Structure 1
Amino acid sequence: MYCGEIAEDKVRGALGSFLQIFVSLGSLSQYVVGPYVSYLVLIIFSAVVPFLFAVTMWFVPESPYQHVMAGEEQKALEALQWLRGTSIEAVKGELAIIKDKVRGALGSLLQIMISVGLLSQYVVGPYVSYLVLTIFSVVVPFLFAGAMWFIPESPYQLIMARKNQQALESLQWLRGTKSEAVKEELAIIEENVRDMLANKATPRDLIATKATVTALYLSVGLVSLQQLTGINAILFYCQTIFQTSGSGLDSSVATIIVGTVMLLASTCTPFVVDSLGRRILLLFSAGGMAVSLEAGYLSVGHPVEQSLCSSVQMGNRMRENTKQAALGTFFNLQNNGSDTSSIGWLPVVSLVVYIIVYSVGFGSLPWAVMGELFTPNVKSMASSVSASICWFFAFLITKFFSTLSQELGSDYAIWIFGIFAVVAFVSVFFLLPETKGKSLQEIQTILGG
């Protein structure tokens, strides 16, 4: 991974292939040396090369990618200078490319934080009172607010307030370097602030150009479909799903498993989003949700309905739905008193698959893509509009899902989520351009075209 990050594009493939050569040489050395020494000596010999490699790495700078992810731009420049054996001026263009490449990883971190929060509630919630859970939930925000007291204000805010010296000190603290090393970056920030103030956005600017209009409907569409595919309703009813699946697993433990799966899946996204691209992950996510909702969740809907409708109504709907999806047979058999222990895993597996594919794509990437589509002068306003619409749909889904389930049957309610997942797949396939590795100007040109 390190070699892949530090190598130039033209030699990355050759450098990666050297790994296979070294593995072959290692195996050959074991064959040549092995017959003449004891196993103890052979083990010690096998450890020499890794040890020498580790010592050598002490004198090699950290990957520029890691420095950029940590916000240490000056250290990234110095690492690139050392690795390329040239001047800082000569590697500034490459640094800009690196910054474009890690946008997706940074933008996808939001879903990881959300997953951590959900998992903490699943772990603590079932075993304490609501009062204790509320106090527990307040601890992290309280600690976060306390920690922010020791962090300097944003250089952008300080420049806007005409506190240039404080902005220099803030940037120096954030980059962990000397003031001389950040003066050039400070000059860039000052220029960006001047441009932002000179081109201060109004609501009219959101529809002023074709590129902005396109960016707006793409962003609103992505965050709306994020909610319309039913994540909040599914999470709200996941305990009921586990209880009625006949799996024998305690529902509280099951939700902890769901939270853990969501966290692990979300953690994968930053590592693949800048190599696979946004479109691939979003298409994979939408397609996976459509399959799990239309198949597995079509049957899973009935347990929720069982708590909302009479058993007679439940049985009628189950029989009707069996004609539409074979997996609905599970709960049909269960209602008729048949032994379903051999397929009790079906709704649980569907739930886990849904959580995985949602977390990898639509859980985090709509927010990452949103940050890439807009120019700086309208980004704040456009993000506020998109986020407001997103959480408005979240409110509607959570509020009216149970009512919709009672009126139509929860099988049909969740089937609707599956239809929206299909809409998400089609929309991403035909409308969303790939933004991986592209500059803001390139993205704006595509959107305006």
Structure 2
Amino acid sequence: MPETQVNPSRTEPPRRQEMNGRLRLIATVATFGGLLFGYDTGVINGALPSIVADLRLTPFLEGLVASILPFGGAWGAAFGGKLADRYGRRRVLMILAVVFVVATIGCSIAPTVAVLVTFRCLLGLAVGACSVIVPVFLAELAPSHLRGRVVAQNELMIVGGQALAFVFNAGLATAFGHLPHVWRVMLVLATVPALVLWIGMIVVPESPRWLARHGAVEKMFQVLRRIREDSYDRREGETVLELAHEDEHRPAARITDLVRVPWIRRIFVLGASMAVINQISGINAIQYYGVTVLQDVGFGGNGAFYANIIPGIMGVVAVALAMYLLKHVGRRTLLLTGLVGTATSLTGFAVSYLTIPEGSPARAWVILACIVVFVGFMQCCIGTVTWLYMSEIFPLNVRGVGMGVCAWILWMMTFLVGLTFPVLTDALGVGYTIMIFVVLQLVAIVWVYCVAPETKDKSLEELERYFRAG
């Protein structure tokens, strides 16, 4: 009898693609949106002292200038995903790159605080939209076994952008700190990565998932062939097409769906609490006002700008460490560890500020050490885990709207922290303001310990069954 011929395409598993050159280029270009996110949230840290002096800002106006970007970010996050679903991830990212350029130039030439606030809000819209579009775009382009690595690159670019902003602020303060308008140069530098994003997106393909969902099937297969290169397997395209058809026939979720069903309502409360916990540590008070605080505790001249680079570098190291730890340590364990670490380091900050005499050389260095430890615990254990947690707990039918609302809450909390910090420090002093964050961290520890389940190594279906069972 003749031997039966076996079709290898039906029996061999798809080849596992390594990070090839084309995929690496696509990920690098797309994550320039994350770099802009980081730079634009970090640059205000060093620019604020110059802005306050140049435009004669009150504590409230100082808080408004710093916090209006996350206010715009909340609405950019709320609507950015919908725009990307309708017009395509690539096209919307190209438009956002133009918005980045226009808003950045507008901020840098603003003659009054009203104009500066307006363009900072517009910049926030672009930052917020990028915060939800870029991770989705990367997740849809990457093969499943590389998805975590590719999406995590965006987090590294965000903290890298913040660190870059701190370095440039220090250099510009040293070279041109005597000029009243040095803050304008600090802000305008963000046009460079924005132009790189726009030019780079010209050659980056559209998401295969979006193309399939909008009927461009042949183009979807072409994109997969391009980005998979030698490891291309047509079965992956067929899977993408099948999922796109499922999306097409699934009714759109509404915000009311998050509160109408009791077990989904419990998930929403948990997700919203994670968004709040992400911000009540006061991380963005440090990100926005770090140089101001360091000047206040004793770093004279440009020393505060250079000292501020150290927490920026710690943020990059902490996110890289989180990428490793998440493979081995539970989300709940990391989150509780991070909250204990932030509460302890903030307590050290407040006690040192209140007890070490002004003028003592030790005061500045002890408080800087507390800030560095705080940033390490925050970025490694809280910042990374809360975003991951929110992405895992929602069931598929409300995942998009659930993440959108939670992102909105997170950005609005960022706005409130940034707006109130200078007002509180003006009224209470830095030490007692930091103690408010310590109390909030203690409340968060109790909440996570009593309410938050472990999600590591559980499939999305297992988590849904868990929440359904109450």
- What TM bracket, shorter-length normalisation? 0.5 to 0.7
Which structure has the larger Rg? 1
Superposition pairs of residues 349-388 of structure 1, within 5 angstroms: 349-388=369-408
Asked if the contact 1:108–1:365 (Cα under 8 Å) also holds between the matched residues in 2, the reply is no
Amino acid at match of 1:215: I
Asked if residue 120 in structure 1 is aligned to residue 164 in structure 2, the reply is: yes
Matches within 5 A, 1:243-254: 243-246=295-298, 250-254=303-307
Superposition CA RMSD, Å: 2.8
CA distance in structure 2 between the partners assigned to 1:343 and 1:410 by the alignment: 13
- 1:139 corresponds to which of 176, 185, 192: 192
Q: What is the CA distance between 1:104 and its match in structure 2?
A: 6.2
User: TM-score w.r.t. structure 1 length?
Assistant: 0.66
CA contact (8 A) 1:107 1:365 kept: no
Task: Work out the CA distance in 1 between the residues paired with 2:364 and 2:276.
Answer: 33
- Superposition deviation, residue 64 in structure 1: 5.7
- The gaps in structure 1 that reach 5 residues or longer are 1-62, 73-98, 301-327
Residue in 1 aligned with 2:355?
329
User: Which deviations, in whole Å up to 9, do the C-alpha atoms of 1:213-246 show, x marking residues without a partner?
Assistant: 2332222111212112111112233223333444
Distance 1:216 1:104 in 2: 24
2:183 corresponding residue in structure 1? 130
Q: Which residue of 2 aligns with 1:345?
A: 365
Amino acid aligned to 1:329: T
Question: How far did residue 138 of structure 1 move?
Answer: 1.6
Residue 216 of structure 2 is matched in structure 1 by: 163
Q: 1:237 aligns with which of 289, 299, 304?
A: 289
Q: Cα 1:342–1:298, aligned 2, differ >3 Å: closer, same or farther? A: closer
Partner of 1:75: none
Paired letter, 1:112:
L
Aligned residue identity for 1:115:
V
What residue number does 1:185 align with? 236
Q: Which residue of 2 aligns with 1:30?
A: none
Distance 2:185 2:299 in 1: 30
The equivalent residue for 2:245 is 194
Q: Tell me the CA shift for residue 423 of structure 1.
A: 2.1
- Return the letter of the residue paired with 1:295: G
Shift of 1:191: 2.2
AA at the equivalent of 2:168: V
Q: Deviations over 1:90-123 (max 9, x none)?
A: xxxxxxxxx9998766665443222111111111
Query: Which amino acid in the other structure matches residue 238 of structure 1?
Result: G
Q: Describe how 1:43-442 pairs up with structure 2 within 5 A.
A: 108-128=152-172, 129-177=182-230, 181-200=232-251, 201-246=253-298, 250-300=303-353, 328-330=354-356, 333-334=357-358, 340-342=360-362, 344-442=364-462
Is the 1:293–1:414 Cα contact (8 Å) retained in structure 2?
A: yes
Letter of the 1:163 counterpart = A
1:7-26 to structure 2, matched below 5 A, reads none
Secondary structure class of the residue paired with 2:312: helix
Aligned residues: 325
- Alpha-carbon displacement from aligned partner over 1:405-431 (angstroms, at most 9, x marks no partner): 233333222111111212222222222
Q: Secondary structure at the match of 1:345?
A: helix
> Cα offset for 1:211?
4.3
Asked whether the 8 Å contact 1:104–1:273 carries over to 2, the reply is no
Q: Are 2:213 and 2:247, in contact at CA under 8 Å, matched by a contact in 1?
A: no
Look up the equivalent residue of 2:355 and give its one-letter code: T
How far is 1:277 from its partner? 2.1
Q: 1:426 to 1:176 in 2, by over 3 A?
A: farther
- Greater displacement, 161-170 / 122-131: 122-131
2:383 partner SS: coil
- 1:392 Cα deviation from its structure 2 partner: 0.8
CA distance in 2, matches of 1:147, 1:157: 19
Kept in 1: contact 2:294–2:364 (CA 8 A): no
Structure 2 vs 1, CA of residues 103 and 428 (structure 1 numbering), >3 Å: closer, same or farther? Answer: farther
Q: Offset of 1:151 from its aligned partner?
A: 1.6
Q: 1:65 to 1:217 in 2, by over 3 A?
A: farther
The aligned amino acid for 2:335 is L
List per-residue Cα deviations over 1:155-196 (Å, max 9, x = no partner): 111111111111111122222236xx4322222222222222
Which amino acid letter does the alignment assign opposite residue 206 of structure 1?
Answer: L
Q: Which residue of 1 aligns with 2:66?
A: none
Point out where structure 2 has 5 or more consecutive residues left out of the alignment.
1-14, 25-142, 173-181
CA 1:64–1:169 in structure 2 vs 1: closer, same or farther (change >3 Å)? Answer: closer
